[in-house]
Amino acid sequence: MDKNSIIGLVVIAGILIGWMLLTKPSAEEVARQQQMRDSIAKVEELAQKAKEAAKQVVIATAVDTTKVSELVNDSLKASIRKQLYGNFSEAANGENQIIVLENEVMKVNVFTKGGRIASVELKNYKTFDGKPLILFDPDSSAQNIQFTAYSKEFTTDSLCFTPTANGNGFNISGTDSQRLAMRVYAGDKAKYIEYVYSLTGNEYMMGFRVNVVGLQDIIASNANSLKLNWRMKIPVQEQNKQTQQAASTIFYKYPEENVDKISETSEEKKAFEMPVKWVGFKQQFFTSVIIADNAFEKASEIETKTEHGSAKYIKYYSAALSVPYKHSQAETYGMRLYFGPNHFKTLKQYDLELERQISLGWKIFGWINRFLTIPIFNFLDGFNLNYGLIIFILTIIIKLLLLPIAYKTVLSSAKMRVLKPEVDEMNEKFKDQDPIKKQQATMALYKQAGVNPMAGCIPVLLQMPILIALFSFFPASIELRQQPFLWAQDLSTYDSVYNFGFSIPWYGDHVSLFALLMTASTLLYTWSNSQLMGTSNQMPGMKWMMYLMPVLFLGFLNNYSAGLSWYYFLANMITFGQTWVMQKFVIDSDALHAKIQENKKKPKETSKFQQRLEQMVKDRQQGTQKKK
């Protein structure tokens, strides 16, 4: 350090020491500070003594300090409720109670908190494992009215409704007619929202009415509608969870329009473009429907989601339904609620097209089920037969109706079999020539013999709509649900004679005996048909494909309705028997051959179909020549 640095440090030290001496408190100031500290300590001591004295007074007068605290808390809670709920503050403070509406077919639990239907049990049905069938439960459902008041959004699910016994009625005694009216008051008895539920006899349909009285000055003046929210999760109820999920979705109907739906395979939120008459939360065999007396406004929307990974629920449904509000003194909105089975006759009686929720097939297939299959099925059901026997009789009736078509098919096959030697001879003759010439020669042979090669295909095509229609009918028929037959415990789902304990890709985790029988009968029919047609040695690749398809189809049928597999097995065996009887006793091959040979000698007019075939061959031949 140099001289200047040392001088600088000395000067700084001198300044600091001088400042400390100048700012040092005097003896009087030190005394005043000590007096202030003593005063503060004395005040704190007096406060503590006062607190202890107050406690002693409380104890002496036998006042419970906990109750004093609760009174303070209750007062604070009441103040908070007033700030949050305004005129509905009293309704926000109450205990939930359960009121039961019950008739011969269902039990409805109504909560006073929210005034909502919390759960519905269908008495005549059970889940696949024998438990009571609950359409939805309190923990996975919601029902409320949403509106704006005091610049806030209110929902009634947080408010407690009070059952009433006045003019609107409160009567839940007896099973013939039950009526429950519940109100949530807005400050006084002249201002309220009221839910009225009614249930009669053995009906699955409930009455539901919403009354809004005296709230014209409470609900926001710019609000022209109220929103009715309805949500639920669909529980697992069937043995095959995947099948239940694939058959569950939301249906809806516009007034004067057809019924529509959200695709079963999609997760979608849909806003309605026009007023809607009803919305149905459909499960595989049951449905919950809310129906407006008039219509819900077009501002309504619905949404469906799949509960991926959930072992308890299948899908989530939501509907936000808009009802008009005109700020009148009293307004009423009439509705109905259906909670019940997807039974065609039951749903159709309400004349609301609710039966359209049952998947009977597209267009012509649905018509066949509506006007043929279901009437026959219902007629046989009236004899109280086992449903396996009903399917057996139904199969025989359908096969009798199709007998003329089956005869045409067998006759066409017989003609083709009689002509087979000549066709084989012609193929050998033209094997080294242009294939088009071979086709022309073959067609000329058919024309001379009076045989239409497509005649056997047309009857088969005519039978296909019935086969496809029944493919939709059996899995959707609730009559088959939990109905046993032979080894099957439930004809509406797969039968299992052996469980692997693990899942095999394509096949599943069990063995369905009905599916095996159906596959075996299809292979037998395919083999017999190839023998009768005389095509067992032709087109080996196509032959193996015909045998492979039923085996591949087995993986699908193994997890499908046992009733469907039983029907297809019966249909195959009856068809096999019909064909054998016709070939053995009805159709004389020698006489048929003689008739064909006689037809060759007669001049023939070419049919329009044959003309088109010949023209196609000529066009193809000309095209080949141009390429060359």
For 272-316, how does the pLDDT look when each residue is reduced to its tens digit (9 = 90+)? Answer: 889 999 999 999 999 999 999 999 988 789 999 999 888 899 999
Contacts of 295 (CB under 8 A, 6+ apart): 255, 275, 276, 277
Query: Among 247-251, 255-259, 461-465, which stretch is predicted with the lowest mean pLDDT?
Result: 461-465
Q: CA-to-CA distance for 309 and 317, rounded, in angstroms?
A: 17
Does residue 527 register a pLDDT over 90? no
- Shortest CA distance to 304 belongs to which of 245, 358, 240? 245
Q: CA-to-CA distance for 196 and 200, rounded, in angstroms?
A: 14
Q: Coil, helix or strand for 109?
A: strand
Task: Provide the strand spans (E) within 265-354.
Answer: 268-271, 276-282, 286-306, 313-324, 330-341
DSSP state of 369: I
Q: If pLDDT is split at 50, 70 and 90, which confidence band does 5 have?
A: confident
Q: How many CB atoms within 10 Å of residue 416?
A: 20
Q: CA-to-CA distance for 182 and 162, rounded, in angstroms?
A: 5
Task: Provide the strand spans (E) within 372-507.
Answer: 498-504
- Shortest CA distance to 562 belongs to which of 489, 469, 500? 489
Domains of the chain: 88-358 (2.70.98.90), 368-485+562-611 (no CATH)
CB 549 within 8 A of CB 543: no
CB 514 within 8 A of CB 558: no
Joined together, the tokens standing for residue 57 give 């007074």
- pLDDT value at residue 44: 58
The pair phi, psi for residue 146, each rounded to 5°, is: -115, 135
- pLDDT value at residue 606: 58
Range 534-545 average pLDDT: 56
Query: Among 343-347, 452-456, 474-478, which stretch is predicted with the lowest mean pLDDT?
Result: 452-456
Q: CA-to-CA distance for 573 and 521, rounded, in angstroms?
A: 6
- pLDDT value at residue 536: 47
**Structure confidence by residue, pLDDT tens digits, 330-389:** 999 999 999 999 999 999 999 999 999 998 888 788 888 888 888 888 899 888 899 999
Query: Among 296-300, 448-452, 461-465, which stretch is predicted with the lowest mean pLDDT?
Result: 448-452
Query: Among 2-6, 170-174, 406-410, 486-490, which stretch is predicted with the lowest mean pLDDT?
Result: 170-174
Q: If pLDDT is split at 50, 70 and 90, which confidence band does 559 have?
A: confident
Q: Coil, helix or strand for 432?
A: coil
268 DSSP β-pair partners: 304
Per the document, the length of the chain is 628
CB 561 within 8 A of CB 475: yes
* CB hemisphere CA count around 147 (13 angstroms): 24
Does residue 43 register a pLDDT over 50? no
Contacts of 539 (CB under 8 A, 6+ apart): none
Joined together, the tokens standing for residue 89 give 């503050």
Q: If pLDDT is split at 50, 70 and 90, which confidence band does 72 have?
A: very low
Q: CA-to-CA distance for 273 and 124, rounded, in angstroms?
A: 38
Range 181-191 average pLDDT: 88
What average pLDDT is seen over the chain?
80
DSSP state of 370: I
- pLDDT value at residue 393: 93
Range 131-144 average pLDDT: 93
Q: CA-to-CA distance for 34 and 57, rounded, in angstroms?
A: 35
Most confident of 79-88, 228-237, 407-416, 598-607: 228-237
CB 473 within 8 A of CB 483: no
Q: CA-to-CA distance for 414 and 592, rounded, in angstroms?
A: 8
